[in-house]
């Protein structure tokens, strides 16, 4: 593709300035999808950093179609990812028809990450990028790409700097694609997961500066598995020591109260002593609220 037809754009994502190119009069999702396909084709063979979420799933589907079979997914498996998400990611890849390779990711051996500073995602993404790049070089892949998109500019994501430093590609940024447009593309491609709720690693359930341990992650995973079993759809179980702070969609709070006794029992079985319901409801990145307060 002749990228001279495009203009340079700079955005600040997680306080990191990222430069990319977009077409001056690019308005339709169809046009952006064409640019996404061409960019992937131009940078193949490609590894997709895969999580099983909508962003990486759509990228995998487009790469599978656009890279002439020269794209694969690589999922880094660790206690940070619930087992149900790993199983779902494998199923997603199978449905798309793209190969998915799972590589162990020993991130809990990193004391800096486990100390859980506000910049913990930098340590995680740095190590993940190195592993993915080494795998790509060993197996003959030219690039590694992730699902970073234009909607991520409003979130606190120090891991983006690490990915940028390691040369991870951001195809959605090149095409100027947002999260809403990713879901629209998923619908156009008839992908069954177009409405899949967003997720995040289990470390995001633990307050900053509280040490991350396998036991705390396992408690949170077991607690959230219970909420899935209760029929709830979008939630987080934030771990505050022995206290579980449950964030739910406002419309699902009544359902949770109807199953209160069962939920309390299951979360106590997971290891929590006190079970609370956050009246403010579900919100991504609620653990970052203390950082915003400190900044003000």
| Domain CATH code at residue 254 | 3.30.70
Do 153 and 260 share a domain, yes or no?
Answer: no
Give the count of domains, the chain. 2
Strand pairing category for 143-145 and 46-49: parallel
**Dist. CA 270–CA 276, nearest whole Å:** 14
Arithmetic mean of pLDDT, 202-217:
97
Lowest-confidence segment of 64-73, 153-162, 233-242, 268-277 by average pLDDT: 153-162
Residues 81, 211 share a domain: no
Specify if 234 maps to a domain: yes
Residue ending a domain, choose from 161, 188, 215 = 188
Mean local confidence (pLDDT), 101-107: 98
| Same domain membership, residue 210 and residue 150 | no
Confidence bin at 294 (pLDDT 50/70/90): low
- Ramachandran angles phi, psi of 80, nearest 5°: -75, -20
Residue 267 and residue 135 share a domain: no
pLDDT value at position 288? 76
State the chain's mean pLDDT as an integer: 90
Is 270 in contact with 222 (CB distance < 8 Å)?
yes
Residue 25 has pLDDT above 80, yes or no: no
Q: Same structural domain for residues 94 and 233?
A: no
Residues 266 and 160 in one domain: no
- In this prediction, residue 154 has a pLDDT band, given cuts at 50, 70 and 90, of low
The yes-or-no verdict on residue 13 having pLDDT over 70 is: no
pLDDT above 70: residue 5: no
- What percentage of the chain exceeds 70 in pLDDT? 88
pLDDT, tens digit, 9 for 90 and up, residues 60-81: 999 999 977 799 999 999 999 9
In the predicted model, what is the mean pLDDT of residues 254-282?
Answer: 97
Nearest one of 27, 72, 11 to 46, comparing CA atoms = 72
Boundary-marking domain end, from 188, 222, 238: 188
Residue found by looking up tokens 């197996």 in the block: 139
Q: Is the pLDDT of residue 264 over 50?
A: yes
Q: Are residues 59 and 206 in the same domain?
A: no
User: Above 80 in pLDDT, residue 296?
Assistant: no
Q: Which residue range(s) make up the domain with 291?
A: 202-295
Do 22 and 175 contact (CB within 8 A), yes or no?
yes
* For residue 12, pLDDT beyond 60: no
For residues 140-167, give the mean pLDDT. Answer: 89
Looking at residue 127, which CATH number applies to its domain? 3.40.50.620
């Amino acid at each position: 593709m002749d990228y001279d037809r495009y203009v340079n754009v700079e955005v600040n994502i997680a306080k990191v300035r990222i430069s990319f190119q977009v077409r001056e009069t690019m308005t339709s999702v169809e046009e952006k999808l064409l640019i996404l396909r061409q960019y992937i084709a131009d940078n193949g063979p490609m590894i997709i950093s895969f999580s099983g979420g909508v962003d990486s799933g759509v990228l995998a589907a487009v790469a599978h179609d656009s890279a002439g079979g020269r794209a694969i997914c690589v999922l880094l498996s660790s206690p940070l990812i619930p087992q149900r998400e790993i199983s779902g990611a494998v199923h997603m890849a199978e449905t798309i028809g793209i190969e998915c390779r799972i590589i162990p990711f020993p991130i809990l051996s990193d004391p800096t990450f486990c100390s859980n500073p506000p910049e913990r995602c930098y340590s995680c993404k740095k190590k993940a990028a190195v592993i993915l790049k080494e795998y790509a070089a060993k197996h003959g892949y030219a690039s590694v790409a992730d699902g970073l998109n234009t909607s991520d500019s409003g979130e606190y994501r120090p891991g983006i700097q690490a990915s940028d430093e390691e040369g991870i590609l951001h195809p959605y940024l090149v095409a100027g694609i947002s999260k809403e447009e990713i879901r629209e593309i998923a619908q156009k491609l008839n992908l069954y997961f177009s409405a899949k709720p967003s997720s995040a690693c289990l470390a995001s359930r633990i307050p900053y500066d509280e040490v991350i341990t396998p036991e705390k992650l396992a408690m949170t995973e077991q607690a959230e598995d219970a909420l899935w079993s209760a029929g709830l759809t979008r939630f987080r179980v934030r771990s505050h020591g022995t206290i579980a702070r449950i964030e739910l969609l406002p419309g699902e709070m009544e359902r949770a109260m109807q199953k209160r006794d069962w939920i309390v029992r299951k979360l106590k079985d997971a290891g929590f002593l006190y079970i609370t319901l956050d009246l403010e409801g579900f919100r991504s990145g609620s653990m970052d609220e203390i950082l915003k307060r400190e900044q003000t």
